[in-house]
Structure 1
Amino acid sequence: MKIYDLIVIGMGPAGMAASAMASAIGLNVLAIEENKVGGECLNCGCIPSKALLKTAQVNQISHNLEQFGIISNIFTDTKESLDIVRQKISRISGKKLMQAFERVELIINKGYAEFVDTHSVKVGVNVYKAKKIFIATGTRPFIPDIDGLNEIDKEFKLTNMNLFTQKNIPKNLTIIGGGAIGCEMAQGFARLGSNVNIIHIDNHLLPFADSDAADVLEERFKKENINVFNKTQIKRVYQKGNKVFVETDSHLFESDKILIATGRKPNLEELKLSKVGIKYNNKGIIVDKALRTNIKNIYAIGDCNGISNFSHSAMHQGMIALMNSINPLPFKIYHDKYLVPWSVFTSPEIASVGLTQEEALKKGLDVVIIKKDYASYGRAIVDGATEGFIKVITNKKGKIFGVTIVGENASEIIHEWVLAMQFKLSMFDILMTQHSFPTISMLNKMVSEDWMMGKLQKNPIIKKIAAKLFRI
């Protein structure tokens, strides 16, 4: 039997990163994917959702040209929107993508991989063996235990798995869950013509986010006639003909479709982990800081380990796991040494890294909160993008504990703060870094200026000394 250097199970972001890098350094790699290369992110997750959001944004702008002084009478028909999304994904997932894996032996769409022993897996009747194995099977939608939900016909019950295969934009859409997927799709479909209701059990949308950020997003949703029902319990769901009804403790919602966006669960069952003694729980496969399972030649990377359900984190873990698997020394690279930012691609965008204000105060940290509104900056005003703010959690010495950005290009300008925090730079370092004017990222420098001015205002001795030195 041929013995591979590495078997990678799952070809989503984590598996793609690991297999491409491993083959690039000359390792003999076998990659197994039960569906499509790219996993959910490329095929039915973060990439198609961004395609939909871009289409929705264009439609929104076309009907609001007056803000730019353009008078128009535009009619738009959005019935081809989802077809365009599918065309874009088909183009991305074509030959150009597969070129990265020319040196990887691929088993695609032949069934699930299951463990035979700690060095072997089986696909169908065929057994494959390797020195090391990376599990990168990702997650799938978590379906909550709601009375009647299982009885709803599949064509009326959407998740990200079948959302982008729909032929038409539903006239009425009820979304269960107000996390990232729920919020992005609420705005996307509303801008393409759907009447949207979000039913959410937590106190505010994006419960993992700064509450001020959620407030800005909810205010925008009100303007776009997206109805948000926070702190709302669902009693039951039922179907009558071609309509789905969601009964809560306060309302009855009638919809053409419902979208379930209530989180994720790891894809583990088919692997038969217990057969070889790999430990796991309901969050995912248990790994150490080097991303090894309790079986030291087997690593678990990406969403399947439950550490951080973001595609960029999965890619990063794939790289770290490969580096650790190559290194025979006991000194390994630990995944928790690297910050994980996140972004939600609504309008306005929301991005964050490190602690939120609520988390910092809960920890009892002595912090200074610096907040800069987009509306205070000329570029944001002329762009018509005055919603939002930058909020920095810092202290008197300028240590950065966390940053939340709400507004135009938040997902891009957050990375300056990730770099600063990763390499222990301070507010003073941001202040002394020249930013090209008038970019949106100039707001990063402006908020650091506010921090410095606040220090001077609160310390009259420094002000007096500075004035005297200037006058010498």
Structure 2
Amino acid sequence: MTIDYDVVIIGGSLAGRYAAILATQFEAKVALVESPQQEIFAHLLTPYALTCLGKLRQQCSDIALGAVNTSTVQWAEIMQGVKGVVANTEEQYSPAVLAALGVDLISGIGQFEHTSTLTFNVNRRQLRSRNFLLATNSRPVIPHIEGLEATGYYTTSDILPVLNSANLPTRWVIMGGDPSGIQMAQIFTRFGLDVTLIVRHSRILPQEDPEITQLIQAALEAEGVRILTATPVSQIKQIQGKKWVQAGNQAIETDEILLCAGQQPDLVHLNLEAVGVRSHRNRLVLNAKLQTTHPRIYACGDAIGGYSFPNIANYEAAIALKNSLFFPRHRVDYSSIPWAVFCDPQLARVGLTERQARRGYGDVVVLRQYFKSVTAAQLEMVTTGVCQVVLLPTGEIVGATIVGSYAAELIHVFGLAIAQRMKIDKIAQLAPVYPSFAEIFEQVAILAYQSHLIRPSILDRFLSLWRR
């Protein structure tokens, strides 16, 4: 059998292009298959860019002591700025860059075929490879609600044309409390739109500790987001040109609906079942090496499912790629991989929540230090926030959650600590710049001393007794 490539990547995501570039660094012969007109960066970066612009506008409004007037918001200018950010980032992963590195970029829609050998058929070509990597994009989860399809809705994938329109709807119902829903609710509110966020669970971000989500929810409500928790949507109707959402026992009138109920892998067209790749509840069955039930097909990123965090997808892509090119010995370990939600204040976590740690270990110690005691936070007038660290009784760090300004930057210290199985006394050795937000580490270390998690060494105690 003639092998055309070392690895064929079925892409359509940032992780796919990242994997293709990484494969060239390993001197592999690689092909990347993407759907024609594939939008990757616009959908990925637009919410983050809008968040930054919304924060800037909020700061300007605070200085001017005036409310945001929807009629004064120049959406065309805002979206032009967003497009500039997207274009600059896209250039780093552009087809020209990929081609220069030796990636065979194939534009088309294909599927697997199991004949005598495993092949991927696209554009009437049969691609033969040692292994294959699924790095496809995801598609929105569309809940089964009476009247939803007939009434119409938007998702985060198709919201961009609406934001570019001349007559932007002013009243929005956002359904779903996943990270994209929280981000979009705050973005819309900061640009003067009326937003109701409806969440089926008892609170937003139900996987996180209640104390953490309460801070985020309070910040959103303080800015004007109306949040309805534990409220299932049973019906949607259109009456005289207006959309009505039946949420619990309330009927809410709105101009438009934005679905943020999560994402699911977009794998239907790949004919995976025919080649022995099994799924369970719309998720691929994988082992710790990111290998599917077909030993020559691996998966990463959105193709796996879960929240769409680019850094986690790239981490998975690197593990899967190394296993596909070399001896498959690398296993995923998410315990030290951080992620963040770019609302304001930011939410970032690495490792276990308090609830997860208590289920797994039983006896744990939780330290919480609030941003209001950090000088830099006081100077910048952003004192809403907390740093929560979960420790074993030995002092080993097993989880950390930060809510506050620069949380997405600060969390990496704890990510390294967990990866190296450090104890809290190592954090105490930091000498953070003053004033800076890193002062929070020093203050957490003081709490550890007060909790007797950090004790003098045997030698120090002996020398102390000797001096007496």
Structures share a fold, TM > 0.5? yes
Counterpart selection for 1:386 from 383, 391, 405: 383
Describe the shift of the 1:97–1:439 C-alpha distance in structure 2 as closer, same or farther (beyond 3 A): farther
2:314 — aligned with what?
Answer: 315
Q: Distance in 2 between matches of 1:82 and 1:307?
A: 28
- The alignment status of 1:339 with 2:340, answered yes or no, reads no
2:373 — aligned with what?
Answer: 376
1:163 — aligned with what?
Answer: 159
1:396 — aligned with what?
Answer: 393
Q: Which of 332-341 and 129-138 deviates more?
A: 332-341
Describe the shift of the 1:152–1:434 C-alpha distance in structure 2 as closer, same or farther (beyond 3 A): same
Q: Distance in 2 between matches of 1:222 and 1:372?
A: 23
Indicate if the aligned counterparts of 1:302 and 1:308 stay in contact, CA closer than 8 A: no
Q: Distance in 1 between matches of 2:68 and 2:318?
A: 48
Q: Distance in 2 between matches of 1:211 and 1:99?
A: 47
Counterpart selection for 2:75 from 76, 79, 101: 79
2:53 — aligned with what?
Answer: 55
3-state secondary structure, aligned to 1:129: strand
Deviation at 1:384, TM superposition (A): 0.4
1:141 — aligned with what?
Answer: 140
3-state secondary structure, aligned to 1:402: strand
Q: Distance in 2 between matches of 1:126 and 1:59?
A: 51
3-state secondary structure, aligned to 1:247: strand
3-state secondary structure, aligned to 1:86: helix
3-state secondary structure, aligned to 1:315: helix
Q: Which of 446-455 and 407-416 deviates more?
A: 446-455
Indicate if the aligned counterparts of 1:142 and 1:262 stay in contact, CA closer than 8 A: yes
3-state secondary structure, aligned to 2:293: coil
1:266 — aligned with what?
Answer: 265
**AA aligned opposite 1:5:** D
Indicate if the aligned counterparts of 1:142 and 1:263 stay in contact, CA closer than 8 A: yes
Deviations 1:271-307 (A, max 9, x none): 0111111112224221211111222221112221236
Describe how 1:54-453 pairs up with structure 2 within 5 A.
Answer: 54-65=52-63, 76-80=72-76, 81-94=78-91, 97-102=94-99, 103-108=102-107, 110=108, 112-117=109-114, 119-153=118-152, 157-166=153-162, 167-168=164-165, 169-306=168-305, 309-328=308-327, 332-336=329-333, 339-363=336-360, 365-453=362-450
Indicate if the aligned counterparts of 1:13 and 1:38 stay in contact, CA closer than 8 A: no
Q: Distance in 2 between matches of 1:300 and 1:340?
A: 18
Q: Percent identity among equivalent residues?
A: 26
Deviations 1:232-283 (A, max 9, x none): 0111012235422111122111111111000111111100111111112224
- The alignment status of 1:31 with 2:32, answered yes or no, reads yes
Give the alignment's Cα RMSD to 1 decimal: 2.7
Indicate if the aligned counterparts of 2:334 and 2:351 stay in contact, CA closer than 8 A: no
Deviations 1:372-431 (A, max 9, x none): 000011111111010011011113321112111110111110010011001101100010
3-state secondary structure, aligned to 1:417: helix
Q: Which of 94-103 and 267-276 deviates more?
A: 94-103
Indicate if the aligned counterparts of 1:372 and 1:443 stay in contact, CA closer than 8 A: yes
Count matched residues.
Answer: 455
Q: Distance in 2 between matches of 1:182 and 1:74?
A: 21
Q: Which of 200-209 and 304-313 deviates more?
A: 304-313
Describe the shift of the 1:452–1:249 C-alpha distance in structure 2 as closer, same or farther (beyond 3 A): same
Q: Distance in 2 between matches of 1:257 and 1:279?
A: 38
Q: Distance in 2 between matches of 1:427 and 1:99?
A: 47
Q: Distance in 2 between matches of 1:83 and 1:426?
A: 47
Deviation at 1:451, TM superposition (A): 0.9
**AA aligned opposite 1:90:** A
In structure 1, stretches of 5+ residues that fail to align are: none
Q: Which of 400-409 and 357-366 deviates more?
A: 357-366
**AA aligned opposite 1:298:** I
Deviation at 1:94, TM superposition (A): 4.0
Indicate if the aligned counterparts of 2:7 and 2:324 stay in contact, CA closer than 8 A: no
Q: Which of 362-371 and 137-146 deviates more?
A: 362-371
3-state secondary structure, aligned to 1:396: coil
Describe the shift of the 1:95–1:222 C-alpha distance in structure 2 as closer, same or farther (beyond 3 A): closer
Indicate if the aligned counterparts of 2:289 and 2:323 stay in contact, CA closer than 8 A: yes
**AA aligned opposite 1:135:** L
3-state secondary structure, aligned to 2:120: strand
Question: TM-score with structure 1 length normalisation?
Answer: 0.89
Q: Distance in 2 between matches of 1:466 and 1:210?
A: 42
Describe the shift of the 1:373–1:35 C-alpha distance in structure 2 as closer, same or farther (beyond 3 A): farther
Indicate if the aligned counterparts of 1:139 and 1:267 stay in contact, CA closer than 8 A: yes
Deviations 1:406-464 (A, max 9, x none): 1011111001001100110110001012222222122122212211122189x9xx9xx
Q: Which of 356-365 and 54-63 deviates more?
A: 356-365
Indicate if the aligned counterparts of 1:283 and 1:305 stay in contact, CA closer than 8 A: no
